[in-house]
Structure 1
C-alpha cells in the first residue's frame, strides 16, 4: 500500500454504557407495561424486551503505535454476555494481529465457534463490535475514512427517514410527524407495536397529516402470520405505503417470501440478521426488496458483503439504526456511503440526537440528510464525558 501500516494489537477493552432517558424507546409505557428491577420493560405490542435506558457496549482496541480503534455493538439487553465473549474469547485471540487485516480477522473469529453452532446471537454481536474497532484503527493507520478502505465514497450525504413517533396518541404522533416534515425530512416510519388505536387508522391519519408527497413506512414488528400480514398491508396500500417492514417472525422464511410476493409495495427485512449466510436464502427466495442490515449486529465486514449481495439481486439497502451512542452509527454511514443503492438510512431521532453529544467529529443529521463523518477511520470518537455512564 506504499506504507507500512502494521500496528500490532496490544489490548482490547470493553465498556458497558447506560445513559438514562425520560421516555423509553418507542414511547411512553402502555397499560400493563412496567420497568423491572433490572431496568427492562416488555412491550406488549410485540412481546419484546427493551431497556429503559440507552444501553450499549463500547469496544476499544489499541495498537502498539498507541492509536486506538473504537467499536460498538448491539448491547441493549444483557450486555454483560457480549462483554464476556470479547473479554474472554475474542480479545485475547487477536492480540498481536494487524488491524489492517480486518476481514481476515473477522473470518478467523467467526470460525472459532463455527462447530458449536454460534452463527448468530451474542457471539456475532460481540464480533461486530471488534470488527468495527479494527476498521477504525486500520483507517486511522492510513489516515483515510473507512469508506475509502471499502473502495470509495459515493455519497457525502444520505437521505434520512424519521423512525419512531414516541407519543401516546395518534393525534400526538401525527403532530410530531408534521413537525419533522417541516424540518426537511421526506420519510416517516411508525411502529405497529404501539399502534393501539389501529394500524390502518394510524396510517390513514399520518397520510392525511403529512400530505401526498411524504414517504410513510410501517414497522410491523414480526406480529403477523403471512396471510394476516398480506391482508393488512393490502389495506395500507391505498395510502401509498412506501414499505412494510418485518411482517412475520424472523425464522419464518417461507412466510416472508409469501408476503413479499403477495403485496404491491416493497417489503423490508433484515435488522435481526447478522451474516451473508442468513441473508442468502432470503435473497434467493426474493423474500424482500429492501434489505436492512444493522451494523451493530453485523460489523462492517459483513455489512458491506450483504450490501453488495443486495446490489447483485437488484435490491435496495436501507440500513437499520438501533440504540447506540454513535460509534456504530458512524460505521453504518461509512459503509452505506460506499454502496450504490441506498435511498434512505434510518434515523432514530430520539436516540441519535441526544447521544450525538457523546461523540466527537462532524457526523450529523439535519434537514433530511445524514452527513457522513469526514475524519480518518470512522470519523468519530467517544467524548470523555461518555465514560461517566459506565455501568
Structure 2
C-alpha cells in the first residue's frame, strides 16, 4: 500500500473579484492588501509511489478562530508527523490520532487544518483506486448541483448590481449585518430583482433575538424569504431556541454546529430547523456526511455551503453534496467572488456545477502558481 512520505503547506493570499462582507466582518475585496491572516492554505501530500493529493481551506478568523499561521503551524508541526507512513486510505486513523494529539474541547479541534489534509487524503486515495472521491464516499446521487449566489453586506446600489449580475443563479444568499435599516433595504432591494427566487438570509451572528424579530416584521411582506441562518452568537444555543420561538421563519444553524455532536445537541434543544453543512468546519468529508446523517435522523433539513473555496475545496464539496438532498441550491461562492480559481477541470454552466468524475477530486491543480504565490509566514 502506497504510504505518505511528504506533506507540504502553501499559504496563499487569493485575490477577490468583488468586495464581500459578512455580518462578522470583511472577507475580501479587489483592492485589499493581501492579508496573511485570511490566506488560503493549500496542502500537497506525496506518496512513496509519487501519487499526489491536494487539499485546501481558507483561514477566516472573523468566522472561526483558525488563521493561516495557526493552520500552517498545526499542519507542519503536529499533523504532518501523524500522516507520515500512513496511506491515503487511513482517513479515520488520521482523525483518531489528530484528536489524541490535539484534543478537542467541546467541538472539533482545529477542523480547518484537519479538513485541508482530509481533502488531500481523499484526493490521493481516489487517484490510487482509480475512482472519483464521491465513489469512496458511497457514490453520487446527482450529476449536477445548482448554485446559490452570495450577496455580501452592502448599500442598496451595490446589492442590486450584484443581484442583477447573478441572474443565472437559482437562489440568493443575502448577508445581513445587524443594522435594521440597512438590512431591510438590502433584503427589499434583492427581492425586487430576484424574480421570485428564494432568499436565504444569513446574519453571521450579528443579531439579538428581539432585533431579529423587528427585521422580520419589517420584511414580512416578502414571501420568498426561505430561512434565517445563524442570527445569534454561535456559543448561545439557547438564544437560537429563543429565536425559533419568536419568529415565524425556519432557523438554520451554521457557526453553532461544527460537528455531528454539536448538531445532536442543538436538535435536543429544539434550536434549529436546518443545518448548514461545510467540510471546513466539519474537519473533512466524512465528518460532513456524519453531520448530514445526524440532521436527517433528527428531522432537520440540509443546506450546503463553503468558505469562498478556490477550486480544490470547491471540488471536494461537490463530491460530498452530490449525494445529499438539499433544501436550497448550494452556496459555493468561489467561482462568483474570486478573480479566478487555482484548478482546471471544473465545469460550471449557467450557475450549475457538474460533479467531477475523474479519479480523485477530478481537477488539475495549478501547482506552479501556488508555489509562486506562497507566503512566508512567521512562526511557521
TM-score normalized with structure 2 length: 0.86
Aligned 8 A contact 2:107 2:261 in 1: no
Tell me which residue corresponds to 1:161: 148
Compared with structure 1, are the counterparts of its residues 264 and 8 closer, same or farther at alpha carbon in structure 2 (3 Å cutoff)? same
Compared with structure 1, are the counterparts of its residues 149 and 372 closer, same or farther at alpha carbon in structure 2 (3 Å cutoff)? same
Displacement of 1:165: 4.8
Displacement of 1:268: 1.8
Distance 1:349 1:117 in 2: 31
Distance 1:49 1:208 in 2: 25
Question: Where does structure 1 lack aligned partners over 5 or more consecutive residues?
Answer: 1-5, 27-42
Matches within 5 A, 1:125-140: 125-140=112-127
Tell me which residue corresponds to 2:182: 198
Compared with structure 1, are the counterparts of its residues 332 and 261 closer, same or farther at alpha carbon in structure 2 (3 Å cutoff)? farther
Tell me which residue corresponds to 1:337: 322
Aligned 8 A contact 1:164 1:348 in 2: no
Distance 1:302 1:22 in 2: 31
- RMSD between aligned alpha carbons? 2.4
Matches within 5 A, 1:31-50: 46=24, 48=25, 50=27
Pair 1:142 & 2:147 matched: no
Displacement of 1:150: 0.9
Tell me which residue corresponds to 1:239: 222
Tell me which residue corresponds to 2:348: 365
TM-score normalized with structure 1 length: 0.84
Distance 1:272 1:7 in 2: 38
Displacement of 1:83: 0.5
Compared with structure 1, are the counterparts of its residues 194 and 179 closer, same or farther at alpha carbon in structure 2 (3 Å cutoff)? farther
Select the residue among 237, 260, 274 that pairs with 2:244: 260
Question: Where does structure 2 lack aligned partners over 5 or more consecutive residues?
Answer: 62-66, 376-380
Compared with structure 1, are the counterparts of its residues 20 and 339 closer, same or farther at alpha carbon in structure 2 (3 Å cutoff)? closer
Distance 1:223 1:332 in 2: 26
Tell me which residue corresponds to 2:378: none
Distance 2:256 2:320 in 1: 18
Counting matched residue pairs gives 360
Select the residue among 164, 176, 179 that pairs with 1:178: 164
Select the residue among 358, 372, 377 that pairs with 1:375: 358
Tell me which residue corresponds to 1:112: 101
Aligned 8 A contact 1:270 1:279 in 2: no
Displacement of 1:243: 1.4
